[in-house]
Homo-oligomer: A and B are copies of this chain.
Amino acid sequence: MLTEQLKTILEQVKSGDINISRALEKLRVLPFEDLGFAHIDHHRQIRCGLAEVIYCPGKTTEQIIEIFSKLAAKGNNVLATRVDRDVFEALAETKKFPQARYESQARAIVLEQKKIEPSKAAILIVTAGTADLPVAAEAKVTAELMGQRTELICDVGVAGLHRLLGYTEKLQKANVIIVIAGMEGALASVVGGLVSCPVIAVPTSIGTGASFGGIAALLTMLNSCATGVTVVNIDNGFSAAVTAALINRKIEQKV
Contacts and interface: CB of A to CB of B under 8 A. Distances in A.
B133 A196 contact: no
A69 interface: no
A132 B58 contact: yes
Nearest to A206: B58
A17 B228 CA distance: 40
Contacts of A242: 227-228
A242 B227 CA distance: 7
A77 interface: no
A113 interface: no
B161 A193 contact: yes
Interface string A27-42: 1111110001111010
Q: Which of A82, A160, A231, A235 has the most CB of B within 10 A?
A: A160
A166 B133 contact: no
A20 B176 CA distance: 31
A183 interface: yes
Q: Which of A157, A206, A219, A243 has the most CB of B within 10 A?
A: A219
Contacts of A192: 159
B186 A190 contact: yes
Contacts of A141: none
Copies in the complex: 8
A87 to B, nearest CB: 14
Nearest to A218: B210
Contacts of A49: 196
A100 interface: no
Q: Which of A154, A212, A223 has the most CB of B within 10 A?
A: A223
Closest 8 pairs (CB-CB, A-B):
A58-B131, A209-B234, A186-B186, A230-B230, A216-B219, A159-B193, A159-B226, A184-B223
Interface of A: 1-3, 6-7, 10-11, 13-14, 16, 20, 23-24, 27-32, 36-39, 41, 43-44, 47-50, 53, 55, 57-59, 63, 67, 82, 128-134, 154-163, 165-166, 168-169, 172, 175-176, 182-186, 189-190, 192-194, 196-198, 200, 203, 205-236, 239-240, 242-243, 246-247, 250-251, 255
